[in-house]
Amino acid sequence: MAALRYAGLDDTDSEDELPPGWEERTTKDGWVYFANHTEEKTQWEHPKTGKRKRVAGDLPYGWEQETDENGQVFFVDHINKRTTYLDPRLAFTVDDNPKKPPTRQKYDGNTTAMEILQGRDFTGKVVIVTGANSGIGFETAKSFALHGAQVILACRNMARANEAVSRILQEWHKAKVEAMTLDLASLRSVQNFAEVFKSKNMFLHVLVCNAAVYALPWSLTKDHLETTFQVNHLGHFYLVQLLQDVLCRSAPARVVVVSSESHRFTDINDSSGKLDLSLLSPSKEEYWAMLAYNRSKLCNILFSNELHCRLSPHGVTSNAVHPGNMMYSSIHHNWWVYTLLFTLARPFTKSMM
């Protein structure tokens, strides 16, 4: 007991009563965390019980949640015309102590993007997501935005991008989201995007290289490169190079490259084992849509690994991710055969959410 008293954890009237110097606060999505003003630190667990808590239910009538200039959540009582940093729902918190999963894997095929970010507060963070007007990109952008991040939807089709922004704002009218033009099939467009973004003098904490095409018929971009290779890999490669200084200035930051398990089913070396650059942007006679996609995904992984080696000493990490086998999205719409196959397989595929 003497040790407890020395640590400021001596007996109180209730086990939930906080020791001196501690304060209870909440995040935007209702998770409770505890601030120690003496040691200037925060933690998710109650300092006495070790339990995690979350608030239950909606705010009382007339109350609204706001965020101050420092990113701190506060509450406005419009009826009594007062503000407070104390969540009025704290009297109705519930314990949240989920049991550890029986396996080592924390998330599985049924886990949603919102569940991944549950309890996280991204207030003050800036995120760019390419190809964010639909599919995986949209769900990623929405999840970041609903957890407080300022999100830029980097898209080729601005009409669809603006529609995606509206859908996010419908879920939370105070979400910080905007759309910017980015056509990865044009290196000039990539350069313009980077210049406009830099002119905003913003940080960049997360760059999600998500945009991709699949099963395209052979075609060349304005830069005279095969389209699948440029959109899926080279455009993102160039984008990261142009924003590299911003990422380093924003450290800790990270780059996330959406790749695919299909990278395993191809190679970019010739018969002698040497790198064959002609395979990356093949001629029409040597083009096969599936192989082009697989090679672009292999390039994604090689790029991400090398990027991590070069930038991690500067506080910027890079990870290549596989979104899941048979992920149902709109990426297959370029050929009716793939559309048919994905439609038949949809009941057995993973949700984009």
Q: Which residues are catalytic?
A: 293
User: Directed axis angle between helix 235-249 and helix 187-199, to 10°?
Assistant: 20
* Backbone phi, psi, residue 74, to 5°: -135, 170
Cβ atoms 150, 157 nearer than 8 A: no
Cβ atoms 300, 228 nearer than 8 A: no
Residue environment code for 33-58, b if the CB has 16+ CB neighbours within 10 A, otherwise e: bbebeeeeeeeeebebeebbbbbeee
Query: At 250, which amino acid appears?
Result: S
C-alpha distances (whole Å) from 78 to each of 57, 67, 343 are 19, 16, 50
Instruction: State which H helix or E strand residue 81 sits in.
Output: none
Three-class SS of residue 43? Answer: strand
Edge-first strand order for the sheet with 82-84 is 63-67, 73-77, 82-84
Long-range contacts of 221-226 (CB under 8 A, 24+ apart): 221/185, 221/186, 222/185, 222/186, 222/188, 223/186, 223/187, 225/281, 226/280, 226/281, 226/282, 226/287, 226/292
